[in-house]
Chains A and B, each alone.
Chain A
Amino acid sequence: MSTYKIAVIGDKDSILGFKTIGVDTFPVTSDQTALDTLKKLVSENYGVIFITEELAQGIPDVINELHKRYLPTVVLIPNSKGALGIGIEQIRKNVEKAIGADILFRKEG
């Protein structure tokens, strides 16, 4: 057991508020810097990384790869423009992967 840190990656307008509650903020704007930052954070001692859906959209491969690891946990959050529905979509995909059919959302659609 050891101590980890928490980080948030996103556009500055969305994430600055996180700083006040003690989360390390990394404002980025482009996909490339987001990727670099994410890679850097993974190699450092971060246990939970929040990333905005907008940025996550640009780097799905790395995010999916990290989902298979024990740590860190990458969590998608909406940004100030609202949720894109990728986070929910991922839950749906997980259900499909595990069970073979989408039994969670079928009722609604």
Chain B
Amino acid sequence: MNISETYVRYRRSLGEEPLAIGVVLVALWMAWTLVSGLATGGIRVSSLASLVWDGLLRGLIIGLAGIGLSMTYSILNFANFAHGDYLTSGAFAGMATSYLIAGIGENSVGALLLVGAGGSVFGGAIGIGVTTSPVAVALGAIVAGASTIALALAIDRFVYKPIRDESGIALLITSIGVAFALRYLIQFVFGAGVRGTTAAGSVPRVNVPALDGTFRITAHDVSLIVVAGGLMLGVHLLLQRTKLGKAMRAMSDNEDLARITGIPTEQVIRTTWIVGAGLTGVAGYMFVLWKGTLGFNDGWLLLLLVFAAVILGGIGSIYGAIGGGIVIGLTASVSVIWIPSEFGRAAAFMVMIVILLFKPSGIFSGRTTA
């Protein structure tokens, strides 16, 4: 009651109209620029298609990582700022596995396990790629998920569980501590350098015609779609078909009910971490495979976009996180039509801020996210 009261009061005092008019004007200007650009040839259809394709894939990664963040946000009731570094951990663990499998025999095990720290091994040289080393990639993705689950459960046991009853803010601050410890531990072990991870040149690709040119689809694009789509479908089935899934869905769908039924049981929390962290780890691995580079800061750089997606989709909504991820991914990519490319991510942040101001419950859900 209190929260909804406050919320209503805020909504009322927001003075929404001038801002709303501003948003509409910006949208009109964008539409005009795009249409006139396409008409005059200032914007090529093929480059637009390429941007959309890129944004879609980026969005799938954000959405996949966002499912976990959204679940922990709503069930454990705090914004986990370490989520991005879970993603990085998964990427490193998975890549280490892939390196080991693909490169064993010709290189030292240490160098492979450290994902070529300090330039000792190069992913391109050992031929990492979904077609060149399919087993290494498949096992890498599995290990990425599994190790992130183990990490998340261990951190929950020793860090979050003892302060489960504290406020969401205390947990948020704690998660910032976890984030930095994890990130710089990764840097300590794997080094600060950003390394190339795939044999980018040997990844099969097709050029898809698009009116005035072509845009490129690679095998890694396709594998990302397959993995992300498969996992999203899996989560959907888990939530719809299993008893545990239904309990989780109920909990994130209806917080009031959750509050009445008491603090979620440890079993549900554990499942939440397992599902969320597993998806996040795989997302991290697929991200790194797809973009072809890996650095200790990758997860942090993606985190705010993941937050943006989760907020856009409505905290607690899994489908919202997926949809929000795609919208945010598209925003970050396609916005370069209107603004300098350095501000792609900034544009995604602005979308998030605007959503927070106008519809903090998210665009894909009708309920409030108290």
Tell me whether A and B are bound partners.
Answer: no
